[in-house]
């Protein structure tokens, strides 16, 4: 079990192919604040299966695009 499972579950329930969200919305889904690195390093949002957060969205069938750390937004796109 991963602390990022709520993100997996939320994404798995989505019916659209493109989901733009704020980092705050992701934190709300997770139930905890995102780490500081998520707002300073776009690599935190990379589609790398070795990262637990990425495993959550990749396993749900999504990848990230259009990461904007300044605006604190990301788009999940169905793979």
Dump pLDDT digits (tens) for 34-60: 999 999 999 999 999 999 999 999 999
C-alpha count within 13 angstroms, C-beta hemisphere, residue 5: 3
Say which DSSP state 67 is in: E
CA angle centred on 25, ends 20 and 29, rounded to 5°:
115
Domain boundaries, position 64: 5-78
Q: Which strands sit side by side in the sheet containing 73-78, from one edge to the other?
A: 18-22, 73-78, 62-68
pLDDT of residue 71 exceeding 90, the answer is yes
Query: What is residue 62's three-state secondary structure?
Result: strand
How many residues are present in the chain?
Answer: 79
Give the number of domains in the chain: 1
User: For residue 1, what pLDDT band results from cuts at 50, 70 and 90?
Assistant: confident
User: For residue 29, what pLDDT band results from cuts at 50, 70 and 90?
Assistant: very high
């Amino acid at each position: 079990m991963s602390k990022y499972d709520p993100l997996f579950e939320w994404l798995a329930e989505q019916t659209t192919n493109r989901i733009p969200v704020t980092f705050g919305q992701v934190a709300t889904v997770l139930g905890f604040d995102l780490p500081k690195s998520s707002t300073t390093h776009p690599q935190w949002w990379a589609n790398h299966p070795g990262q637990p957060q990425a495993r959550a969205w990749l396993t749900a069938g999504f990848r990230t695009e259009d990461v904007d750390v300044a605006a604190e937004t990301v788009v999940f796109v169905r793979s």
